[in-house]
Chain A
Amino acid sequence: NAGVTQTPKFQVLKTGQSMTLQCAQDMNHEYMSWYRQDPGMGLRLIHYSVGAGITDQGEVPNGYNVSRSTTEDFPLRLLSAAPSQTSVYFCASSKKSGGLTDTQYFGPGTRLTVL
Chain B
Amino acid sequence: AQSVTQPDIHITVSEGASLELRCNYSYGATPYLFWYVQSPGQGLQLLLKYFSGDTLVQGIKGFEAEFKRSQSSFNLRKPSVHWSDAAEYFCAVGPGNNNDMRFGAGTRLTVKP
Chain A interface (Cβ within 8 Å of chain B)?
4, 33, 35, 40-45, 48, 56-59, 90, 92, 99-101, 103-104, 106-109
Contacts and interface: CB of A to CB of B under 8 A. Distances in A.
Given A90-B44, A108-B43, A100 B105 contact: no
B18 interface: no
Given A99-B95, A101-B94, A45 B41 contact: no
Nearest to A31: B99
B71 interface: no
B105 A101 contact: no
Contacts of A103: 46, 49
Contacts of A44: 103
B98 A100 contact: yes
B49 A100 contact: no
A99 B106 contact: no
Given A42-B104, A45-B100, A108-B42, 10 more contacts: A56-B98, A59-B100, A90-B44, A92-B43, A100-B94, A101-B95, A106-B43, A106-B45, A108-B43, A109-B42
Nearest to A111: B41
Contacts of A56: 98
Contacts of B102: 42
A104 B99 CA distance: 13
Given A101-B32, A108-B42, A43 B103 contact: yes
Given A58-B100, A99-B99, A101-B100, A42 B105 contact: yes
